[in-house]
A = this chain, B = another copy of it.
Amino acid sequence: MNKLLIVGTVAFDAIETPFGKTDKILGGAGTFIGLSASHFNIKSAIVSVVGGDFPQEYLDLLTARNIDISGLEIVKEGKTFFWSGKYHNDLNSRDTLVTELNTLADFNPVVPQNFTNADVVMLGNLHPLVQSSVLDQMTEKPKLVVLDTMNFWMDCALPELLDVIKRVDVITINDEEARQLSGEYSLVKAAAKIHGMGPKYVVIKKGEHGALLFHKKEVFFAPALPLEEVFDPTGAGDTFAGGFAGFITQSENISFENMKSAIIHGSNLASFCVEKFGTERMLSLKKEEVNQRLKQFKALTQFEIELQ
């Protein structure tokens, strides 16, 4: 079975949307990536850190999904990373209410020995130095390295971010961040500039407007599934990335054609994530539901055309 190494936060989130609010619930990029990737027939491990306040129940929930947590450091006297945010009425923007780094502030990632030869590495959104440190620990060159990041690191750790971006094959980034990183408004031009920074593949996430995959002059577009109601967008981008990386790991195929399928799998899994608060929908998700919705993606996008 192929191996996927994931680095990313395992955290507490408190979320408020127009539909309600939660107390501290399970969250974090590493968590969403791991839960999403667990829908594929792979071995995965999460490298992260939590505090002594992190419930055993949440750890069990990860291991029950065949996710190796030997690289998940537990700092007994510390507290788990906590993020709280409130979404605006359109759910397309949000305000961060609280960010408590806690144990994440001094995090030194340690890759479990049996994952230093992982086939695929998924670097979730974290400090670029943490992402680089994980790559430094790989004893074999991974078939594919995928990196997710955000504007925060462009603002406060750009040199370190550019260093790690050089080392990855695929970058996933949202449209505004792609514009910020490249200084180009046109996403086609932005992707070309980001190619020049290192990654052969550039995935631009546009939320409810879908995602674009660029590779040299080729481009592929996956829509987001039109939903009656988006309940909570938290973790959708990470779920997308986890589905992408999970499928690539399972299929052992890094061709552009296969990446198209990976993008669809990622979009499909993300479409479930937003239906309930936090990880709730991902935890109840069944294989039949996943397959049913893959068929909907096909119906949504496939057409016949005759040239004129």
Taking beta carbons and an 8 Å cutoff, which residues of A are in contact with B? 39-40, 89-90, 185-189, 206, 209-210, 212, 218-223, 226-230, 257, 260-261, 263-265, 287, 290-291, 294-295, 297-308
A189 surroundings in chain B (CB, below 8 A): 228-229
Whether A90 pairs with B220 at a CB distance below 8 angstroms is no
* Chain A binding surface, main DSSP class: mixed
Q: Shortest CB–CB separation between residue A161 and chain B, in angstroms?
A: 24
> Taking CB as reference atom, which chain B residue is nearest A218?
B299
Given contacts A186-B228, A221-B300, 8 further A-B contacts (CB under 8 A): A89-B185, A186-B230, A187-B226, A220-B300, A220-B303, A221-B226, A261-B305, A264-B303
Whether A260 pairs with B221 at a CB distance below 8 angstroms is no
Closest 10 CB pairs of A and B: A260-B303, A291-B307, A209-B209, A221-B223, A188-B228, A188-B226, A301-B301, A221-B300, A261-B305, A294-B305
A187 surroundings in chain B (CB, below 8 A): 226
Given A220-B300, A264-B305, A308-B39, A226 and B209 contact (CB-CB distance below 8 Å): no
Whether A305 pairs with B300 at a CB distance below 8 angstroms is no
